[in-house]
Chain A
Amino acid sequence: MADGGRAAKLGRLFQAMVNESEAIRLLRDDPEALAKRFDLDEQDLKSLRAADSLVISLRGEEITFETGSTFTANLRGEVTFETGTTITARPPRDITFETGTTITARSS
């Protein structure tokens, strides 16, 4: 299990995140750019992307549900609506999330 190379790669990434808040932003918002900037390979990028299936984050977006639309609440992971996100059902209708979905309203 000992793996100095692995620790070194993650260590470099950590060092970057300590020194540059931009690295943390890229980690969340733009894993492709993060991978390019920190020399991560395709497999690393795939691993970062694997978090997408666990968390769906919607930031500052407007989501409108037209009648009959199925905003899929087929999302199994956590859905985070950050401050600024507006969800509108038009015309008014119920929005249903599947059991197990966590909805978090974050304050800014």
Chain B
Amino acid sequence: MAEHISTISVVIPARNEGPRVQRTLESLARGRSRTSSPLEVVVVDDASEPSRRPRIRNLPGLDVNLIRLAERLGVPAARNAGAAAATGDVLFITDAHVTVGAGWDAAILEHIGPRRILAGAVSDPTSAFRAFGCTLVVPFMGTRWIRRRPPVLSAVQIPSCASTAVPRRLFLELGGYDRGMRLYAAAEPEFGVRAWLAGADIVAVPDLEVSHRFKERASLDQFIDGLRPSMVHNSLRFGLLYLSEAASLQMLRYFAFRYPDELPEAIAMLDDSDVWTRREALGQRLIRNFDWFVDRFELKDQEGGEILR
């Protein structure tokens, strides 16, 4: 525990975010309480369309590193690229369209630990919505928001992707976000589960609040359009990496009901992936198995039943 953690790097994936990135940077600069040294921010442009690339101007106190990916790799891979380029002791992983609260950096440095990941709060500037991390939904392999404010440093299953602080060394030890995840969805809960199973803790820091601009319905539909097979693939991959055989079969049939149009393509993607060898490798590497996670959080399935073991 003697490891000294004193510097933060902010990692921001951005695709077609244009001027919103600058406003996020301004908020980060404004909210800092420790200004004795520059704040490193790594913005990863996930192959934005030319007219919608991040527009960034210099800001006092910020050392911004803009990385452009040659092709669209998706949010998890963009975060991994940002983490690889970052040099701070802690990675604050957030989004390109957020406003942070005052003293966000102090909240991180006060509570972070070598094997501790912080789950900040996420709020919506247009409503009363506020959440403090997420719980896992099985066998859908998605998440539900935690709406009730938890005590500081209480255990959280999954940190929100817009407000996650993780020691860089721990992030690299864990292997970052699963490189087998495509484009969008499931990577964040998978990372949270893997962190727990690797012996790390994820704890709530409600005062580390990020106001996040959620996409409106039409914009979300447009964003997701074409991504669904990848989303189904990612969810199935997540389940197949950790669930028991029984729960995996239940999950497969559930997805056959729910996403019959997307399932064939998702199955083909899985068949062309390393999912089985990765499952084997995780089984050997992780110090806990998924049953531990179920017991630790008294997890039920999405309808309140027992999770199949």
Contacts and interface: CB of A to CB of B under 8 A. Distances in A.
B50 to A, nearest CB: 34
Contacts, number: 94
Nearest to B241: A1
A2 B280 CA distance: 5
B267 A18 contact: yes
Given A57-B257, A77-B303, A17 B289 contact: no
Q: Which secondary structure dominates where chain B touches chain A?
A: helix
27 contacts: A2-B279, A3-B245, A3-B283, A4-B280, A9-B245, A10-B276, A11-B276, A13-B252, A15-B271, A18-B267, A24-B260, A24-B263, A27-B253, A27-B256, A44-B246, A44-B249, A47-B247, A47-B308, A48-B249, A48-B250, A50-B250, A51-B253, A51-B257, A53-B303, A54-B301, A55-B254, A76-B304
A2 B284 contact: yes
Contact of B271 (A6, A18, A43, A51): A18
A49 to B, nearest CB: 8
Contact of A10 (B248, B258, B286, B305): B248
Interface string A20-64: 010010011001000000001001101110110111010000000
A24 B255 CA distance: 10
A13 B252 CA distance: 10
Contacts of B304: 76
A43 B244 CA distance: 12
B95 to A, nearest CB: 27
Interface string B225-252: 0000000000000001000011111111
B258 A78 contact: yes
Q: Contact size class for A? A: 35 or more
Interface of A: 1-4, 6-7, 9-11, 13-15, 17-18, 21, 24, 27-28, 31, 40, 43-44, 46-48, 50-51, 53-55, 57, 76-78, 80
Contacts of B254: 51, 54-55
Contact of A24 (B251, B256, B289, B308): B256
A55 B279 contact: no
Given A1-B289, A53-B303, A31 B253 contact: yes
Most chain A beta-carbon contacts within 10 A, residue among B245, B251, B286, B289: B245
A43 B250 CA distance: 11
Contacts of B248: 10, 47
Interface in B267-309: 267-268, 270-271, 276, 279-280, 282-284, 286, 289-290, 301-305, 308
